């Protein structure tokens, strides 16, 4: 597949790709419809404070992780078309609630529920995977992710204009958010009828039930448990913050902590249940894989996608206040961060494929992020705006390229477990966003950029230590001469059942 093929709308799979990335785009648009309107909200709702908005920003990424788990289960049962449609229609409800919410509780809860929309990424990836041939899947998924993520930029560009000039007045922002929700619901209905799960005649295969990731050694199992705790445990930070700001009673907080603790314990029990029998039996040498690589990629996605989600949530405000711009102009300029997505993310995957050394590509990208955010930390109002925009674009080019590169490496760690590994890494993006945005409630934007730079740098160090260049199968070659092809065939079948790489 050539890049230019994406213009062949008549091809069924290309059409499916476009329908799906637009769906993802719209969900992203709704997901980040608050940040560009933050200042308008502050103006029109007199009891809102900046701290409240920062809290909303955390809520906005909080429940994505549990939602991913639920959506994952639903995907296996109902297939991506139905799940995507239902998700879009359902999530328009909290979005409308948020648009017309009049009390703190209404706004807080609706934003929290709305954060589940972030799980749409997984749905579309599955849909894309069903339509394309193995050779083209990498590009198709990169394209889908990049163009879908662009939704946050589109929101930053268009929403202030819609709010101030189309609707105008005190409640302009409410109607702008409501409009995005209604469009999403309508598209959800359209998507249901416009697409099928894979080309006609595809049998929807149910994947093997996987409750926890398999590991190769006892040490890896301990690491896996340690890396699993933050997935849900990170929500404790949010509970603590809400309680801290006085929107949650001590009893309520205690209940929340107990639920989070129970979920974490449940996950750990699942890990033990899956892995203890396997490890007792012993993992064959050729089936082992290093968990350290998974951990390194979790950290990269934490530091790149987490940073993207966090920065997209605060950048419009930052530009508006630092250079005292209008909301519309700030939205436009802040959008330059997510704008690069159209090219940068697919390109990250492409470069990773092309260089032949994925580890090096990953390391370069992470280093670039650290440098980029450090430079953003240096920015202040005395800088010319155009330079600031240039640095923002530079940084985001690395951030999004690194996202592509991360998902470029994941399939080669352990092919059999790709789905679970990518699920874990993807969830770490949201963990990163929650952590970063929580930190953001305590610091100034400048310090915040330095902290993100430090995070990227730490991830870079982890990659240097842990990330292994995935080996392609030198050990597995199927030499078939005209004589022993039959024997080979039987052995291959045996191998397929024994699931070797």
Partner 1 sequence: MKIMIAYDGSRNARLALAQTITMFRDLKPQLTLVAVAENPRDITSGNEDLFQQEVTELKNYLNEAMEVCQNEDVAAETMLLEGDPRKMLLYAAEKKIHPDMLVIARHSHEPDGGFIARSLTYFVDELDYMTFGSVSSFLARRIQCPLLILPSR
Does position 474 bind partner 1 by CB under 8 A?
Answer: yes
- Reduced 3-state DSSP string for 84-131: HHHHHHHHHHHHHHHHCCCCHHHHHHHHHHHHHHHHHHHHHHHHHHHH
Query: Does the protein bind partner 1 through residue 183 (CB under 8 A)?
Result: no
* Residue 386 or 483 having the CB closest to partner 1: 483
Binding status of residue 202 toward partner 1 by CB under 8 A: no
Residue 298 within binding range of partner 1, rule CB under 8 A: no
- Residue 69 touching partner 1 (CB under 8 A): no
d(CA 135, CA 417) in angstroms, rounded, equals 19
State yes or no: residue 418 binds partner 1 (CB under 8 A). yes
Tell me the C-alpha distance between 393 and 17, whole Å: 26
Give the separation between CA 116 and CA 100, rounded to whole angstroms: 19
Question: Does 277 contact partner 1 by CB under 8 A?
Answer: no
Question: CA–CA separation, 207 vs 187, rounded Å?
Answer: 28
In the list 179, 270, 412, 446, the residue contacting partner 1 (rule: CB under 8 A) is 412
By beta-carbon proximity to partner 1, the closer residue of 188 and 419 is: 419
Q: Which residue has the tokens 């799979």?
A: 13
Residue 287 in the binding site for partner 1 (CB under 8 A):
no
Write out the two tokens for 491: 């052995």
| Residue of 354, 387, 443, 447 interacting with partner 1 (CB under 8 A) | 354
Q: Of the ranges 20-28, 261-269, 276-284, 466-474, which one interacts with partner 1 (CB under 8 A)?
A: 466-474
Q: Which residue matches tokens 């328009």?
A: 92
Any contact of residue 205 with partner 1 (CB under 8 A)? yes
Shortest Cβ 489–partner 1 spacing (Å): 8
Q: How many residues bind partner 1, per CB under 8 A?
A: 50
- Closest CB 305 distance from partner 1, rounded Å: 13
11: DSSP letter = S
**Contact with partner 1 (CB under 8 A): which of 188, 408, 429, 445?**
408
Give residues 422-451 in contact with partner 1 (rule: CB under 8 A): 422
Question: How far is residue 33's CA from residue 175's CA, in Å, rounded to a whole number?
Answer: 11
Question: Taking CB under 8 A as the rule, does residue 15 contact partner 1?
Answer: no
Question: What is d(CA 420, CA 463) in angstroms, rounded to the nearest whole number?
Answer: 20
Closest to partner 1 by CB, 29 or 291: 291
> Please, are residues 215 and 226 in contact by the beta-carbon 8 Å criterion?
no
Q: Which of the ranges 85-93, 102-110, 175-183, 479-487 carries the binding residues for partner 1, by CB under 8 A?
A: 479-487
Dump the DSSP string for 73-86: HHHHHH-HHHHHHH
Q: Identify the residue among 171, 321, 353, 469 touching partner 1 (CB under 8 A).
A: 353
Return the axis-axis angle of helices 250-281 and 235-244, rounded to nearest 10°.
Answer: 170
Choose, by CB under 8 A, the member of 326, 473, 491, 498 that binds partner 1: 473
* Member of 168, 169, 199, 207 binding partner 1 (CB under 8 A): 207
For residue 419, state whether it binds partner 1 (rule: CB under 8 A).
Answer: yes
Q: How far apart are CA 221 and CA 223, in angstroms?
A: 5
Asked if residue 362 binds partner 1 (CB under 8 A), the reply is no
211 in contact with partner 1 (CB under 8 A):
no
Q: CA–CA distance from 27 to each of 264, 296, 333 (Å)?
A: 28, 29, 22
Q: Is 305 in the site for partner 1 (CB under 8 A)?
A: no
Q: Both tokens of residue 161?
A: 């204009």
Tell me the C-alpha distance between 436 and 426, whole Å.
16
C-alpha separations of 352 from 47, 169, 360, 361, 410 in Å: 49, 48, 9, 6, 11
For residues 390 and 394, give the distance between their C-alpha atoms in angstroms, rounded to a whole number: 6
Contacting residues toward partner 1, per CB under 8 A: 2-4, 7, 125-126, 129-130, 134-135, 137-139, 141, 205, 207, 210, 349-351, 353-356, 407-408, 410-412, 415-416, 418-420, 422, 472-474, 476-482, 485, 489, 492, 496, 499
């Amino acid at each position: 597949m050539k890049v230019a093929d994406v213009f062949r709308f008549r091809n069924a799979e290309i059409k499916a790709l476009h329908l799906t990335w637009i769906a993802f785009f719209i969900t992203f648009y709704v997901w980040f419809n608050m940040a560009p309107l933050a200042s308008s909200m502050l103006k029109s709702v007199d009891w809102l404070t900046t701290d409240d908005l920062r809290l909303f920003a955390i809520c906005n990424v909080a429940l994505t992780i549990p939602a991913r788990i639920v959506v994952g289960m639903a995907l296996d049962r109902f297939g991506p078309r139905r799940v995507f449609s239902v998700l879009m229609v359902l999530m328009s409800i909290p979005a409308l609630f948020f648009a017309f919410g009049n009390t703190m509780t209404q706004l807080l809860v609706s934003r929290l529920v709305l954060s589940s929309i972030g799980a749409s990424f997984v749905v579309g990836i599955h849909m894309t995977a069903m339509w394309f041939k193995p050779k083209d899947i990498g590009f198709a998924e990169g394209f889908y992710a990049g163009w879908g993520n662009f939704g946050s930029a589109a929101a930053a560009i268009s929403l202030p204009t819609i709010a101030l000039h189309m609707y105008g007045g005190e409640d302009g922002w409410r109607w702008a958010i409501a409009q995005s929700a209604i469009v999403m619901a309508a598209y959800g209905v359209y998507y249901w009828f416009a697409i099928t799960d894979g080309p006609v005649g595809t049998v929807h295969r149910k994947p093997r039930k996987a409750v926890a990731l398999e590991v190769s050694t006892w040490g890896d199992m301990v690491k896996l448990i340690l890396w699993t705790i933050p997935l849900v445990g990170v929500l404790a930070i949010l509970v603590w913050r809400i309680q801290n700001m006085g929107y949650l009673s001590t009893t309520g907080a205690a209940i929340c902590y107990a639920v989070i603790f129970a979920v974490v314990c449940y996950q750990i029990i699942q890990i033990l249940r899956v892995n203890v029998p396997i490890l007792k039996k012993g993992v064959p040498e050729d089936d082992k894989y290093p968990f350290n690589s998974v951990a390194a990629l979790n950290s990269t996605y934490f530091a790149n996608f987490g940073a993207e989600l966090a920065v997209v949530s605060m950048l419009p405000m930052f530009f508006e206040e630092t250079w005292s711009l209008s909301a519309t102009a700030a939205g436009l300029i802040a959008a330059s961060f997510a704008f690069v997505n159209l090219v940068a993310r697919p390109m990250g995957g492409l470069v990773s494929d092309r260089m032949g050394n994925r580890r090096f590509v990953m390391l370069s990208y992470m280093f670039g992020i650290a440098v980029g955010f450090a430079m953003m930390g240096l920015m202040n109002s005395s800088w010319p705006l155009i330079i600031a925009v240039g640095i923002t674009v530079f940084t985001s080019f690395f951030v999004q390229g690194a996202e592509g590169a991360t998902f470029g490496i994941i399939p080669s760690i352990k092919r059999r477990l790709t789905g679970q590994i990518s699920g874990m890494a993807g969830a770490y993006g949201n963990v990163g966003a929650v952590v970063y945005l929580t930190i953001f409630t305590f610091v100034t934007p400048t310090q915040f950029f330095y902290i993100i730079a430090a995070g990227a740098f730490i991830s870079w160090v982890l990659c240097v230590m842990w990330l292994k260049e995935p080996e392609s199968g030198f050990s597995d070659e199927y030499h078939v001469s005209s004589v022993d092809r039959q024997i080979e065939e039987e052995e291959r079948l045996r191998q397929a059942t024994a699931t070797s790489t």
